[in-house]
């Protein structure tokens, strides 16, 4: 999947809720912002720079920021990624969805080029096909994996469900 396709799906899933909550589309990445208490709350999605792999798919992250400007990555700002704003049970939902995605992946043939670069690259590449066995720790940086449009839609619905609580958390920051 091209990143433009991923962004289009995420926009479809998230834009109605964010607009209904007073957010406006921002200029960079797939982002939205809303003023709050003399500052701005900014929400954005970012597809991994690793690119697309026909077997392992790719991943994206959702980030939240409270700053003086409605700009992604503004300084100074307080920022958190989605997973660090969620409770243990919600991170378990991520693990369940993540494992469903991983279970849908096609493993590469033994002749795949990434399996013949070095033992370290082989190990790292094959790790993408292993289920997440342990619960994610509270501060773990979780990237949301996908290999098809259906996965991105599922993540979009999950993120939309969690958005109100995440935004409330940012609003509570002093």
Please say if the pLDDT value at position 29 is more than 90: no
For CA atoms 13, 166, 97, 132, the dihedral sign is positive
Q: 153, 13 in Cβ contact below 8 A?
A: yes
pLDDT tens sequence across 30-53: 999 999 999 999 999 999 998 899
User: Taking Cα atoms as reference points, which of 133, 171, 153 lies closest to residue 9?
Assistant: 153
Q: What is the pLDDT of residue 7?
A: 97
Domain boundaries, position 55: 3-172
Q: What is the pTM of this model?
A: 0.93
pLDDT band of residue 10 (cuts 50, 70, 90) is very high
Q: What is the pLDDT of residue 16?
A: 96
Query: What is the tally of structural domains in the chain?
Result: 1
User: Taking Cα atoms as reference points, which of 47, 67, 38 lies closest to residue 156?
Assistant: 47
Summarize the confidence of residues 3-15 as an average pLDDT.
97
pLDDT tens sequence across 47-93: 999 889 999 999 999 999 999 999 998 888 899 999 999 999 999 99
Q: What is the pLDDT of residue 82?
A: 96
């Amino acid at each position: 999947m091209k990143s433009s396709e991923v962004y289009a799906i995420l926009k479809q899933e998230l834009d109605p809720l964010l607009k209904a909550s007073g957010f406006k589309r921002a200029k960079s990445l797939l982002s939205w912002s809303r003023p709050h208490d003399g500052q701005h709350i900014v929400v954005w999605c970012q597809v991994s720079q690793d690119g697309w792999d026909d077997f392992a798919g790719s991943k994206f992250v959702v980030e939240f920021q409270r700053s003086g400007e409605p700009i992604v990555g503004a300084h100074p700002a307080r920022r958190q990624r989605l997973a660090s704003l969620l409770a243990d049970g919600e991170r378990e939902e991520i693990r369940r969805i993540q494992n469903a995605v991983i279970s849908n992946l096609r493993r590469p043939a033994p002749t795949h080029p990434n399996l013949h670069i070095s033992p370290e690259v082989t190990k790292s590449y094959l790790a993408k096909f292993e289920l997440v066995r342990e619960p994610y720790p509270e501060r773990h940086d979780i990237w949301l994996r996908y290999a098809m449009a259906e996965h991105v839609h599922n993540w979009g619905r999950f993120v939309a469900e969690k958005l109100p609580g995440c935004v409330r958390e940012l609003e509570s920051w002093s």
